[in-house]
Amino acid sequence: MTDAVLMLAQADFPTPMGVLTLNHYLFVSTAMFALGLIGFMTRRNLIIMFLCTELMFQAAGLALIAFGRYHLNFDGQTFVIFILTIAAAEAAMALALVVLLFRRRESLDADLWAELKG
């Protein structure tokens, strides 16, 4: 069981990661991104749409970390920190807005808000 822990703690990049493994991670992040996208487009509930954007953030973060690991430098991870800040800021704003909209229309349906037209 201990080597499992060791493997887990590859903290200081002793060995460079192969390109093909990188591709695995990239596939996962793209898939997550695609799912987030589909979610955003199909769900009508405002909050769930925001959640889907968060999922897309996550996908981006994963890709960044993967590339960071591949290139053996920490830029990837610092940027994920910033993604977190952005996600947090966005969440705050979006939720405040959602509360406001909900209070106005008693519904979370995105299609109700269509005045800014033509």
Map the footprint of other proteins across residues 6-45, applying CB under 8 A. 7-28, 30-45
Binding to other proteins (CB under 8 A): which residues in 71-90? Answer: 71-78, 80-82, 84-90
In angstroms, what is the minimal distance from the CB of 1 to other proteins? 14
- Residues 85-114 vs other proteins: string with x where CB under 8 A? xxxxxxxxx-xxxxxx-xxxxxxxxxxxxx
State the Cα angle at 50 between 49 and 53, rounded to 5°: 95
Say how many residues touch other proteins, by CB under 8 A. 98
Q: Is there a contact between 52 and 36 (Cβ–Cβ < 8 Å)?
A: yes
Instruction: Return d(Cα 93, Cα 112) in angstroms, integer.
Output: 20
In angstroms, what is the minimal distance from the CB of 78 to other proteins? 5
- Helical packing angle, 46-71 and 19-42, nearest 10°: 170
In angstroms, what is the minimal distance from the CB of 58 to other proteins? 6
- Give the torsion sign (CA, 18, 21, 27, 33): negative
| Nearby residues of 117 by Cβ (< 8 Å), 6 or more positions away | none
In angstroms, what is the minimal distance from the CB of 60 to other proteins? 11
The residue among 2 and 93 lying less far from other proteins, judged by its C-beta, is: 93
